[in-house]
Amino acid sequence: MARQPLRRRPMALSRRQFLRMVALGGPTAAFLAACAAPAPPTAGEGAAAPGEAPAAQPAAGPKYGGKMVWMGHQEVAGLGPDDTGPTVQWVMVVNIHNPLVTVNEFNELENVLAKEVQVSDDGLTYTFKLHEGVKFHDGTEFTAEDVKYTYDYYRNPDNGASIAGDFTGVGSVEVVDKYTVVVRMDEVNAASLVSWATTPIVHSRYHAEVGEEKYRTAPIGTGPYKLKEWRPAEFTELEAFDDHFRGRPYIDILRQDVVPEPSVRYIALQSGQADSAVWPLLVEDSIALEQDPNFIVYRTLANSIKHFPLNNSLPQLAEKEVRQAMMYALDRQRIIDDLWNGAAQVSHSNLTPASPYHRADLKRYEYDPEKAKAMLDAAGWVVGDDGIREKDGLKLSFTCTTITGDQARRPIAELAQQLLKEVGIDMQLAEAPVASILQGMREGTMDCSLFNWTYGSAVEPDPFSTLHSEGGNNFAQYRNPRMDELIEEGLKRVKFEDRKPIYDEIQEIFVEDVPVLYLQFDEWMNVFNSRIKGLPENPKNGSAIYQQAYKWWIEE
């Protein structure tokens, strides 16, 4: 099939477009108006113990003061541990809270609130020795009781947390003394240190008093920054916590603005009104900034798949033959070449090629619309007079709801709509805020969407949250008893050589069942203004960079 020409977005807004958008009003207009007449931020004075800065950005040394502005593409719907799914929420949550351990920007485990971690030889007992003298933002001391409360609350299925599945295998959480907590497992969970042990710890007495819903709007953590002001659809602003146990952050104010349009995020970076885009720009804009000495651009291969999660419980999407045919109908390499500037790899598995568990010899869905048509014919889906297939009176039609204002991924949905129509499948397009989409996909009330999410990472291959029938982020409403069995078994095995066969089969079933239409693994591009110092060298995980913000400082 000959390729149809695609309309490409210009690199930046014209002055007329710019002024028209300002005239429209609203948060975006206000943000644009601020960008129209940039004033360089100033950093306060003050010496501090030197941090490690990349060789490419020499500096006189760390200093206190200033305001750092990040930008995300969607609203920040909540600020509690159960809100850590979307990246733009996670970066705020982990700057307000701390976990016992974390996975850092080099994909390495790093102790945070825990100063020592001991795991028994049988993998059934985890003992955490906690830092002493750690304070919450209200001055209350952090203790083992806070760990027990946090773990018991979020693993309790009655509380309906999406992260409850992270605690698979946890039997009990015991306080040994004020600074020692022991987690006893009913069964081995090999992912423990990168799943439940990375859960941000809440202020137990405060959370118990106000409840989860209130806590999500007014959290109190031990993190380097504390909440100053939160407007979900506009911005989240944090201020430095003077008594943070690892030392006061150098930068006074950390703010993330909600800027859905990547073109506007690009303008804000160029004008100096923002220092980083937590959610990447359009690829061509990130590439352009790579050539500008005023910016630092990190490229890392994403753990997340750009994909269309499909509601497998819908009759028209329930047959795997239909979903397989849709894979053959999508020209995924064209999507990468024409809409993503080549900065991605076609995905052939749920696991990133950066994972040691990644399997390269799986079944592949090369672009083949004729094969897609033949498969649909064989499955009994007949083309109707309107060109749309139907079976037993049911149209092969569904709605894909993309995130409001998502200029980067919306064109992918539009191209997919054209490609699917050519084989007789009707995909309607709609838009909604991300919180509505996540709720709808989790509850099974929405047909389909388009976003990036992780189905196992380079650090840990476990896909319980997304592929297990009880997973809190099982957006596809996917049910396969063998998949559930394998996921549960994979968590019980610790050694790589014992786990590898399990995840080999998981990948094989994923590719065969096609619970989601998996497209690509992006080259993740995180852009920083070069005035931000103390950034890492050669990180492997772009999103994880942001949890180290307390180490950075501003130098004009």
Please state whether beta strands 253-258 and 67-72 pair in parallel, antiparallel, or not at all (unpaired).
parallel
Cβ burial, residue 304 (10 Å; 0-12/13-18/19+): middle
pLDDT of res. 364: 97
pLDDT of res. 222: 98
Rounded Cα distance, 18 and 29, in Å: 9
Outline where DSSP puts E strands in 329-411.
Answer: 344-346, 382-383, 389-391, 394-395, 397-403
List, in sequence order, every residue forming a beta bridge with 431; answer none if it has no partner.
402
Same domain, 232 and 364: no
Helical H segments across 37-184, by residue range: 87-96, 144-155
Kindly report the backbone phi and psi dihedral angles of residue 68, in degrees, each rounded to the nearest multiple of 5, phi listed first: -115, 130
Name residues whose C-beta falls within 8 Å of residue 546's C-beta, 6 or more positions apart in sequence.
Answer: 70, 91, 94, 95, 278
| 154: CATH | 3.90.76.10
pLDDT of res. 122: 93
For the beta carbon of residue 431, count every other beta carbon within 10 angstroms.
15
In a domain, 264, yes or no: yes
Same domain, 391 and 243: no
Helical H segments across 424-469, by residue range: 434-443, 464-467
Torsion from C-alpha of 160, 162, 168, 170, nearest 10 degrees: -60
Tokens 């076609």 belong to residue: 346
> At which of 213, 241, 272 does a domain end?
213
Q: What is the DSSP letter of 338?
A: I
| 356: CATH | 3.10.105.10
In a domain, 476, yes or no: yes
Q: What is the DSSP letter of 434?
A: H
> At which of 164, 194, 213 does a domain end?
213
Query: Structure tokens of 98?
Result: 């701390």
pLDDT of res. 10: 33
Same domain, 84 and 148: no
Which SS3 state, helix, strand or coil, does residue 83 take?
helix
pLDDT of res. 303: 86
Q: What is the pLDDT along the chain (556 residues), one digit of tens a residue?
A: 333 333 333 333 333 333 333 333 344 444 433 443 333 333 333 333 333 333 444 447 899 999 999 999 999 999 999 999 899 999 999 999 999 999 999 999 999 999 999 999 999 999 999 999 999 999 999 999 999 999 999 999 999 999 999 999 999 999 999 999 999 999 999 999 999 999 999 999 999 999 999 999 999 999 999 999 999 999 999 999 999 999 999 999 999 999 999 999 999 999 999 999 999 999 999 999 999 999 999 999 888 999 999 999 999 999 999 999 999 999 999 999 999 989 899 999 999 998 999 999 999 999 999 999 999 999 999 999 999 999 999 999 999 999 998 888 999 999 999 999 999 999 999 999 988 999 999 999 999 999 999 999 888 999 999 999 999 999 999 999 999 999 999 999 988 999 999 999 999 999 999 999 999 999 889 999 999 999 999 999 999 999 999 999 999 8
Same domain, 36 and 116: no
In a domain, 380, yes or no: yes
Please provide the DSSP assignment of 202-232 as one string: P-HHHHHHH-HHHHTTS---SSSEEEEEEET
> At which of 213, 248, 277 does a domain end?
213
Contact yes or no for 399/352 (Cβ under 8 A): no
pTM across the whole model: 0.76
Which SS3 state, helix, strand or coil, does residue 377 take?
helix
In a domain, 10, yes or no: no
Please provide the DSSP assignment of 494-531 as one string: -SHHHHHHHHHHHHHHHHHH-SEEEEEEEEEEEEEETT
Same domain, 311 and 361: yes
Which SS3 state, helix, strand or coil, does residue 260 take?
coil
> Which strands form 394-395's sheet, in the order they lie side by side?
382-383, 389-391, 394-395
In a domain, 218, yes or no: no
Same domain, 426 and 457: yes
pLDDT of res. 75: 93
Same domain, 194 and 333: no
Tokens 């429209």 belong to residue: 24
| 249: CATH | 3.40.190.10
Q: Indicate the helix (H) or strand (E) that contains 263.
A: helix 262-271
List, in sequence order, every residue forming a beta bridge with 209; answer none if it has no partner.
none
In a domain, 8, yes or no: no
Rounded Cα distance, 124 and 171, in Å: 9
Give the distance, in angstroms, between the CA of residue 475 and the centroid of all CA atoms in the same chain. 14
Residue 322, amino acid: V
Contact yes or no for 490/470 (Cβ under 8 A): no
Query: Structure tokens of 497?
Result: 């050589």
Kindly report the backbone phi and psi dihedral angles of residue 391, in degrees, each rounded to the nearest multiple of 5, phi listed first: -150, 125
Rounded Cα distance, 322 and 330, in Å: 13
Domain assignment of residue 320, given as a range: 302-523
pLDDT of res. 382: 97
Same domain, 398 and 513: yes
Rounded Cα distance, 48 and 60, in Å: 11
Query: Structure tokens of 544?
Result: 């994880």
Residue 239, amino acid: E
In a domain, 78, yes or no: yes
User: How many domains does the structure of the chain reveal?
Assistant: 3
Contact yes or no for 255/70 (Cβ under 8 A): yes
Same domain, 122 and 269: no
Report pLDDT digits (tens) over 464-485.
999 999 999 999 999 999 999 9
Name residues whose C-beta falls within 8 Å of residue 315's C-beta, 6 or more positions apart in sequence.
Answer: 394
Same domain, 428 and 548: no
Which SS3 state, helix, strand or coil, does residue 310 take?
strand
Same domain, 38 and 185: no
Torsion from C-alpha of 266, 271, 274, 279, nearest 10 degrees: 10
pLDDT of res. 17: 36
Which SS3 state, helix, strand or coil, does residue 336 take?
helix
First to last CA, the chain: 53
Report pLDDT digits (tens) over 385-441.
999 999 999 999 999 999 998 888 999 999 999 999 999 999 999 999 988 999 999
Which SS3 state, helix, strand or coil, does residue 158 take?
helix
Q: What is the DSSP letter of 440?
A: H
pLDDT of res. 271: 96
pLDDT of res. 7: 30
In a domain, 67, yes or no: yes
Same domain, 549 and 513: no
